[in-house]
Structure 1
Amino acid sequence: MNVAYPYTANLEEDGAYFVQFRDLEEAFTQGETIEEAVFNAAEVLTGILAYRLDHNQDIPEPSPMRPGDRMATPSVEVQSALLLRQARAGRSLSDLANAMETSWPAVQRLENPHHWPTLKQLDKAARALGKRLVLSLE
């Protein structure tokens, strides 16, 4: 499952870079340098996705990268919450809690974008969903 979202960073007349995400129309920012724009892109993506998770709103799948696009990923907490929500695919939290042999609130925290789950919790949730936890350092 992919949680990297494409965006464009266009140099404006005033010398700043304007960032806009194709898949999330409300996600845009800017930066005085390209480095600042890239940092701000990840921050705004994290904020928008956390808001949508908090309010149980739909979150679109990232579209394919196009020429000239850059990719941003949200924070680790938001990535794990989003990945578990996607992997659960309609399965209830209580079903997942039963499969993990834990409480419903413990499973609910795993989909909280402001909570830092442990690797042990993520691995147990992945196995209960018939998935495999894969880590990557980039």
Structure 2
Amino acid sequence: MTLSKGMTMSRFSYGAKLTPDEVDGGWVVTVRDIPEAITQGDDVESALREASDCLEEAIAARIDDQRDIPIPSPLMSDEYKVYLPIQTALKASVYLAMKESTLSKVQLASKLNVDEKEVRRILDPHHRTKLPTIERALQALGQQISLTITSTQV
């Protein structure tokens, strides 16, 4: 992802298309911006729940592999909005802010006055990190958390 300085991505909801599975029944879910995020569900509700899990794993893999995380495209009329779970969204925010700042893990650890292993845990999508720790890391990177609550009614 390429952003102008100071414009770290802050929205982690992606459009997901549900297509009827003619062979097995149910719905196949694809996420246009994250091509590797493909899953399915027996009904719309379960398909969207699976889509969120699949999106989380796809973003986690991108962080682990140090790959880009694409900016979500505007939602198309035939798509449902799928949200990245908050813990992963926050970790992705730290990851993106680090890439933007070009700080190394060692340099961020120094700014936070912690061991470099702690920064690795903060960036590890599968490690549960306490919110104040993520908040401190983002602040050290010049970022601030802002919360928006959105209705998820289908």
Is the TM value for this pair above 0.5?
yes
Q: C-alpha deviations, 1:25-70, integer Å up to 9, x for none?
A: 1211111110111111111111212222222223222222121211
Inter-partner Cα distance in structure 1 for 2:22 and 2:32: 21
TM-fit CA distance, 1:106: 0.7
State the TM-score, normalized to the length of structure 2.
0.80
* Residue of structure 1 equivalent to 2:115: 103
AA matched with 1:81: K
What secondary structure does 1:115 align onto? coil
Q: Percent sequence identity over matched residues?
A: 28
* Residue of structure 2 equivalent to 1:11: 20
Greater Cα offset, 126-135 or 102-111: 126-135
Inter-partner Cα distance in structure 1 for 2:131 and 2:21: 42
Aligned residues: 138
State the TM-score, normalized to the length of structure 1.
0.88
CA contact (8 A) 1:29 1:37 kept: yes
TM-fit CA distance, 1:133: 2.0
Q: Which runs of 5+ in 1 are unaligned?
A: none
Inter-partner Cα distance in structure 1 for 2:124 and 2:146: 20
* Residue of structure 1 equivalent to 2:65: 55
Q: Which runs of 5+ in 2 are unaligned?
A: 1-9
* Residue of structure 2 equivalent to 1:132: 144
Inter-partner Cα distance in structure 1 for 2:104 and 2:68: 16
Inter-partner Cα distance in structure 1 for 2:133 and 2:22: 48
User: 5 Å matches for 1:79-118?
Assistant: 79-88=89-98, 89=100, 90-118=102-130
- Of 20, 29, 45, the match for 2:30: 20
AA matched with 1:10: T
Greater Cα offset, 75-84 or 34-43: 75-84
TM-fit CA distance, 1:92: 1.4
